[in-house]
Homo-oligomer: A and B are copies of this chain.
Amino acid sequence: MIKVQQEDFDVGAEISGLTEGNTSIGGLACFVGLVRDLAGEKPISAMTLEHYPGMTERQLEQLEQEARQRWTLMDVLIIHRYGRLEPGDRIVLVATASAHREAALESCHFLIDWLKTKAPFWKLEDTGSGAQWVSARDEDDSAAERWKDKP
């Protein structure tokens, strides 16, 4: 399931919703991305996430389908926020549930790696010395690339 929203989310409630009543789940992996107070060396006071409504949902749904094709998953949840966030705020939640831990852990890792380069979001950071757009990082490209032929 995909949710693109401005509001915060409740990690515990979201995770319980995923596993409740399904006793064939053996493992649930999750990742929560948060706004850090530092961009490189510079302190930041806020981060604004711009996104492409419509395309974002489509891309995330495609990512979910890709994960479900690669691993045997009981459930997948991706929540991605947009709008103005402050350090410590949650940005993204990825949670995957499977009968087996390996499938849950790997697919969760895969999804967050792919989100970094394939989800249409753009981040603007407010620093003391003005606003700056977050650049795509080469490490994120290689992290996504790593999953190209797997499994």
Contacts and interface: CB of A to CB of B under 8 A. Distances in A.
Interface in A6-42: 10-13, 15-16, 19-38
A2 interface: no
Contact of A19 (B24, B88, B101, B143): B88
Interface size grouping (class) on chain A = 35 or more
A99 B37 CA distance: 10
Interface string A78-111: 0000000001100000000001011011001100
Q: Is the interface of A mostly helix, strand, loop or mixed?
A: mixed
Given A30-B30, A30-B31, 20 more contacts: A12-B16, A15-B32, A19-B32, A19-B34, A19-B88, A21-B88, A23-B35, A23-B88, A26-B33, A27-B33, A27-B34, A28-B34, A29-B30, A29-B31, A29-B108, A30-B32, A31-B101, A38-B99, A101-B112, A105-B112
